Amino acid sequence: MRGRRGAVLLALVVLATLLPARPTAGDGLPPTITDLRWSPRYPITPMNITLHANISDPDGISGVYATWCTLDGFCIFPTMYDAGNSEWRANASTPPNTIGAAYQVYATDTTGNRNVSPKLYVLFVDTVYLTLDPLTVASPGGTATVNGTAFYGPRIEPLDGPNETAPAEGLLVEVTVEGVTESGSVDADGGFSIPVAAPMAEGTYPIDASVTDRTLTDTAQSTLAVSAVPRPDLVVANARLSPSYPVEGDTITLDFDVRNQGTADAGDAPVVVRVSGVPDPVFNELLSVPQGESVHRTATWRAGAGTMQVSIQVDPDNAIAELDEGNNLHGLSLPVSSPPPYLWIGVGGLAVAAAIGAVWAMRRRRSRGPSQIELEGGKIT
């Protein structure tokens, strides 16, 4: 009897193995993960942000989490929550002094099928960089178009500077000329063009621009040249003396630019550099400067004792008709120290001289106040 029962049981087992397997519940496919994104689009540091992803599966979703790893290796694994309409969200943050993070999503459906999204990289920003075209030209009372760019970027070296792959799209730029402010938005390429009304009087006018995004802000300046008849306007720019703490007898180097911010080219413009205590000009040349461009020059001389007064003057005799005759002079002031005294006291004199020299050098380093004082004015009479 037992043998007969065993044979029946064995036959049932064999039959069961020959029948097709019962299908599992669901479609056997993993969840679909699309449209990974984050808000705001360009996170600043530090701040809280929201991670987003669209996730769907006919079998239903049992769990979703994200990985959020900064580029310096700090990772968190937030659980994403169902925000409705197949959108899932999670909270994350941007630590300070980091420039980006990697973002990835993992999802599991109710039957255990799993999927993982591609990894995306998120740029953090801590600066917005605003630039203007250096010169805008218009006729008196006409309309001038101020052009420029606005891009995000980090300040962290060596990657600091505007990132042209991160346009500050949608930000509002304000431009002010003669107390009147106009505004315009940054386009998808990072550029903007803002029309402004030109003053009725001929001349050159400063253009001031600003842009703000959350805690980020930047400003830029340029020039509006207004004239009925094309004329140049020559100014001195970027003037600098070196070394910053000279000693009598040192070689002084002056670097400067002559910029034409007018509406016409300037040819054979005299440029003269004079230094107090030096009888002859240390620089005296004729320069041709195309409209909207600059020419760089350098002058050198030996430092005398006391405070040097340096004047850089373009077109000193007003031989060239310019839009503005009152902006041709640029001045700099630079204190010059006397060399340390030399003491000869026999044996040990070298040590004493070295000590005096060290004290003198320390006093030079500790000297306070600006070493260069810029002076602006009109024509020297």
**Cα gap 218→73, rounded to integer Å:** 31
Alpha helices in the chain (DSSP H): 2-18, 349-366
pLDDT for 177: 97
As a whole number of Å, the end-to-end CA separation of the chain is: 135
The answer to whether domain 128-226 and domain 234-377 are alike in fold is yes
Ramachandran region, residue 10 (left: φ > 0; alpha: ψ -120 to 50; beta: rest): alpha
CATH number of 128-226: 2.60.40.10
Sequence-distant (≥ 6) Cβ neighbours of residue 155 within 8 angstroms:
126, 127
CATH class of 32-123: mainly beta
> What Cα–Cα distance (Å) separates residue 115 from each residue in 62, 90, 213?
12, 18, 37
Provide the residue ranges of all domains of the chain, joining segments of one domain with +. 32-123, 128-226, 234-377
Sequence-distant (≥ 6) Cβ neighbours of residue 48 within 8 angstroms:
91, 92, 93
- Which stretch of DSSP H or E encloses residue 263? none
Rg (CA), the chain: 36
Q: Is the pLDDT of residue 9 over 70?
A: no
pLDDT band at 155 (very low <50, low <70, confident <90, very high): confident
Q: What is the pLDDT of residues 187-214, one digit of tens each?
A: 999 999 999 999 999 999 999 999 999 9
pLDDT for 159: 67
CATH topology for 234-377 is: Immunoglobulin-like (2.60.40)
The shares of helix, strand and coil residues in the chain, as percent rounded to the nearest 5, are 10, 50, 40
Mean pLDDT, rounded, for 69-92: 96
Q: What is the pLDDT of residues 11-67, one digit of tens each?
A: 333 333 333 333 345 678 999 999 999 999 999 988 999 999 999 999 999 999 999
